[in-house]
């Protein structure tokens, strides 16, 4: 089942539920302007835009900046859709919508933001007197001993897996549903570990051989295994998740959420693994001084 088909099913169910409640299409007005979400997104976007313009004025390739800016902007837009638009409110009513929100936070937005190479523009977006201290701070953090395991592909993959599985334990998942701060912490842990994971496999992966695509496939497999556990469960794992009157039972909602986690997201991981594997093989050929047979060696 494609992501479009899943969204169509969810929209149909949501529309019917709203009609039954006498509030048809009212869910379209349910935007969530949480300062803990809106303020960081706004500040980050402004800093990136200002920093990009300053880098352009200093002679950085404009086409490259546009491509990276487009990726970063797409990632921010994905976060807005997931955390500000009605998707967030719907996620509080139905598990399937909540799963879509989480997958955008972990699988869609982070790789786009990583491809946007945000560190340079964000630092250059700061006032002049803050740039050097910010650069030194980032440098110290990235070179710190405690950060070394986290920067590795294996460490980032393990940390992201830990966040995913721990937050899907019923006691913690239900706790996030009942407390806004806990829910925010859940999203922060999903997003931060996903950024670390995608940074490791996309930015460091080319020089790591086939370790990076293998890490992506491992993440896909354990994510789909978790989705399978959600699908085959004979009772609701998170009883308070399904709050909205809908055409489905809580168990139907849970099974649809598992399909959202397994089907389209599995395709994204597979596509990413193939792309990273190709880049890794090209880097390997280049490092060994090999050139494609169809291209004569330069003289």
pLDDT of residue 20: 44
pLDDT of residue 141: 84
How much is the pTM?
0.85
Instruction: Give whole-number Cα distances, 116 to 58, 113, 191, in Å.
Output: 18, 5, 16
**Nearest to 153, CA basis, from 193, 196, 200:** 200
pLDDT of residue 145: 80
**Nearest to 108, CA basis, from 257, 242, 260, 211:** 260
Residues 220 and 268: beta-carbon distance below 8 Å = no
pLDDT of residue 26: 76
Dihedral sign from CA coordinates of 86, 88, 93, 97? positive
Three-state SS for 144?
A: coil
Structure tokens at 124: 């250059």
pLDDT of residue 250: 86
pLDDT of residue 130: 94
Write phi, then psi, for 79 (nearest 5 degrees). -65, -35
pLDDT < 70 positions in the chain: 1-25, 204-209, 244-247, 287-299
Residues 20 and 245: beta-carbon distance below 8 Å = yes
What percent of the chain has pLDDT above 70? 83
* Number of C-beta neighbours around residue 270 at 10 A: 14
Dihedral sign from CA coordinates of 204, 208, 209, 210? negative
| Packed helices 250-287 and 211-232: angle between N→C axes, nearest 10 degrees | 170
pLDDT of residue 115: 94
Greatest CA span in the chain, whole angstroms? 75
Among all chains, which residue has been given the structure tokens 């940074």? 199
Residues 238 and 177: beta-carbon distance below 8 Å = yes
Q: Could you give the residue ranges of the DSSP H alpha helices within the chain?
A: 3-20, 35-57, 62-83, 86-91, 95-103, 109-115, 119-124, 128-143, 148-151, 153-167, 170-178, 180-203, 211-232, 250-287
pLDDT of residue 156: 94
pLDDT of residue 206: 59
**Nearest to 165, CA basis, from 186, 195, 142:** 186
pLDDT of residue 15: 52
Among all chains, which residue has been given the structure tokens 């399937």? 96
């Amino acid at each position: 089942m494609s992501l479009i088909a899943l969204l169509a099913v969810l929209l149909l169910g949501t529309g019917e539920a709203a009609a039954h409640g006498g509030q048809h299409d009212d869910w379209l007005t349910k935007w969530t302007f949480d300062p803990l979400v809106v303020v960081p997104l706004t500040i980050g976007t402004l800093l990136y835009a200002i920093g990009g313009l300053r880098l352009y004025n200093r002679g950085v390739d404009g086409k490259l900046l546009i491509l990276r800016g487009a990726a970063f902007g797409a990632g921010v837009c994905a976060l807005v859709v997931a955390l500000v638009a009605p998707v967030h409110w719907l996620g509080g009513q139905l598990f399937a919508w909540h799963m879509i929100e989480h997958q955008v936070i972990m699988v869609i937005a982070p790789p786009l933001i990583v491809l946007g190479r945000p560190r340079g523009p964000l630092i250059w977006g700061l006032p002049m007197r803050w740039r050097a201290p910010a650069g030194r701070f980032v440098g110290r953090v990235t070179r710190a001993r405690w950060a070394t395991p986290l920067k590795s592909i294996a460490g980032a993959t393990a940390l992201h897996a830990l966040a995913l599985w721990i937050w899907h334990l019923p006691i913690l998942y239900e706790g996030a549903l009942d407390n806004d701060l806990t829910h925010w912490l859940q999203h922060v842990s999903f997003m931060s570990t996903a950024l670390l994971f995608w940074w490791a496999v996309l930015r460091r992966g080319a020089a790591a051989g086939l370790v990076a695509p293998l890490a992506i496939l491992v993440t896909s497999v354990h994510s789909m295994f978790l989705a399978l556990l959600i699908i085959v469960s004979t009772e609701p794992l998170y009883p308070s998740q399904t709050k909205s009157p809908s055409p489905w039972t809580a168990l139907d909602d849970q099974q649809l959420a598992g399909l959202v986690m397994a089907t389209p997201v599995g395709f994204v991981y597979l596509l990413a693994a193939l792309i990273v594997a190709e880049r890794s093989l090209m880097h390997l050929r280049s490092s060994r001084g090999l050139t494609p047979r169809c291209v004569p060696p330069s003289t």
